[in-house]
Amino acid sequence: MTTWTIGIIGGSGLYQIDALEDAQWIRVNSPFGEASDEILCGRIGPVRVRFLPRHGRGHRVAPSELNVRANIDALKRAGCTDILAIGAVGSLREELPPGRFVAVDQFIDRTKGRPSSFFGTGMVAHVSMAEPVCPRLSAMAADAVEAAGGTVVRGGTYLAMEGPQFSTRAESHLYRQWGADVIGMTAMPEAKLCREAEMPYALLGMVTDYDCWREDAAFVEVSQVLEQMHANGAIARQAVERFIAALPEVREPTPLDTVLDHALITAPDARDPAVLAKLDAVAGRVL
C-alpha cells in the first residue's frame, strides 16, 4: 500500500490546473531527451499532482514531434504512481457528438516512426497491451466527468493516427469499419510507454468534432475544434479536481505496478550497461 502521486497529461484543451496548491514548475531531466515542458508540481488536498502539458505551454510541439519517451520518463522520475491523460478526439460515431467525453479502453495504433518502447537492443522486454488502460483509474475518471456535469461514455476504441493532417474521407470510413469510435494523434505510444514504466494509465477523450466520414457535413477545421475545446476544457479541469478529491486515502496495489516482473527477456550477462543506465527510472525496480 502507498500514497497516490497522480500524473496529469494535459492535451489540447487542458493546459493548466487551477486548483493546484504550492505549485511550481520544475525541470526534470531525462536520458531520453527533452520533455515537452517542465512539470508543474503541487498538490490538491493531500494528493501530490504532477502536471505535464503534452504539447508544451502555448501548444508548441506537433503530435509527430512529441518526445513521448522523455515525457513518460520525466513523470516517472517525478514520482508518479498513476497517469490520467486528457486529449481532444474526433468522433467516428453518430452517437458521440461534440462535447461528449469517452473513457477510452482500447486502441488501434496507426502511428509511424515514433519510438514506442523504452527497451530495445541491449535490453529486450515485452509487456502485454491486451487491456491497455487501468480499469480502476478509468472508472474513477468517468465518475469524475459525471460529477463535473459532463456526459461520458464508458469504453471506446481510440484510433491513433500520425497527423498532423486530419484524415481523408476514405480513411475515416475505413476506421469506422475497423470498429474505432474516436480518433486522435497522441495517445500512442503514450499508453504503451506508461505500461512499460509500470504506471497505470487512463485516458479521457474530449470529443471536439465529427471526423470527415459524414458525407453531408463540413470538413474538420481548427477553428471549430478550438471552440469546442474551450467548452470541453472547463469540464475537464473540474473533472480532474473531482477525480483527485475522490481518490481513496490509501492506494492499493494493482498488477499493473509489477508488469515488468515477467517481461524482461535479455539474459543478465547480455544486458548493455549503457541501456540499463537509461532505464534506471522506468525499470530500475527490476534491473
pLDDT digits (tens, 9 = 90+) for 171-226: 999 999 999 999 999 999 999 999 999 999 999 999 988 999 988 766 666 666 66
What pLDDT is recorded for position 56? Answer: 93
- For the ranges 8-12, 25-29, 240-244, 281-285, the lowest mean pLDDT is seen at 8-12
Burial of 231 (0-12, 13-18, 19+ CB in 10 A): middle
* This prediction's pTM: 0.95
Domain coordinates in residue numbering, the chain = 5-278
Predicted confidence band of residue 233 (pLDDT cuts 50, 70, 90): confident
Q: How far is Cα 67 from Cα 65, in angstroms, rounded to an integer?
A: 6
Would you please indicate which residues are annotated as catalytic (active-site) residues? 209, 211
pLDDT of residue 219: 64
CATH number of 5-278: 3.40.50.1580
Q: Describe the crossing of helices 187-196 and 68-77 by its angle, rounded to 10 degrees.
A: 40
pLDDT at 158: 98
Q: Quick one: three-class SS letters along 253-279?
A: CCHHHHHHHHCECCCHHHCCHHHHHHC
